Amino acid sequence: MRITTLVTLLAAPLALAACDSGDNTEEMNEMPMADGQMADGQMPMDDGDMPMMGSDSAMQTASAEGTVTAIDADAGTITVDHGAVPAIEWPAMTMGFEADEQLRQDVAVGDAISFEFTTGEGGNTITSITKK
């Protein structure tokens, strides 16, 4: 019994020492495998796009009426003095909207328009314009 205990006590430090060096080596070998598993684990993280898609859906589409007060080709914007937009709780205001070149060319300062736009994290972008 005592001999076994002594052996265990003596062996334990040796085992620990062996484990220390052994672990270092094994960890080095296991790390790449762990990384590989992490890569697999990242697949579910693509589901992280789901919340992002959720925020995309937070992008709202609304329509408003207003008067074009400025067109900035360099900035790619059309500034509109627009009426209230109850659907998205916007008061009447004058503000700039991003608008593509085609839309910018379709209107002139002073035009009364009704327009559709998207609003969200990506900014405010006019998607279509109808002159009145």
Q: Give me the residues that bind Cu ion (CB under 5 A), please.
A: 93, 95
CA distance 36 to 19: 24
User: At its nearest, how many Å lie between Cu ion and the CB of residue 94?
Assistant: 8
Q: Strand runs (DSSP E) across the chain, as ranges?
A: 60-72, 77-82, 93-98, 112-120, 123-131
Instruction: Using the minimum distance from each CB to Cu ion, give the nearer residue, 95 or 120.
Output: 95
Instruction: Using the minimum distance from each CB to Cu ion, give the nearer residue, 37 or 60.
Output: 60
CA-to-CA separations, 41 to 29, 52, 60, in angstroms, rounded:
19, 19, 33
User: At its nearest, how many Å lie between Cu ion and the CB of residue 47?
Assistant: 35
CA distance 112 to 67: 4
Beta bridge partners, 94, equal 81
Instruction: Using the minimum distance from each CB to Cu ion, give the nearer residue, 15 or 93.
Output: 93
Q: Which residue is nearest to Cu ion (CB)?
A: 95
Contact indicator for 80, 67 with CB cutoff of 8 Å: yes
User: At its nearest, how many Å lie between Cu ion and the CB of residue 106?
Assistant: 20
Instruction: Using the minimum distance from each CB to Cu ion, give the nearer residue, 65 or 95.
Output: 95
User: At its nearest, how many Å lie between Cu ion and the CB of residue 59?
Assistant: 16
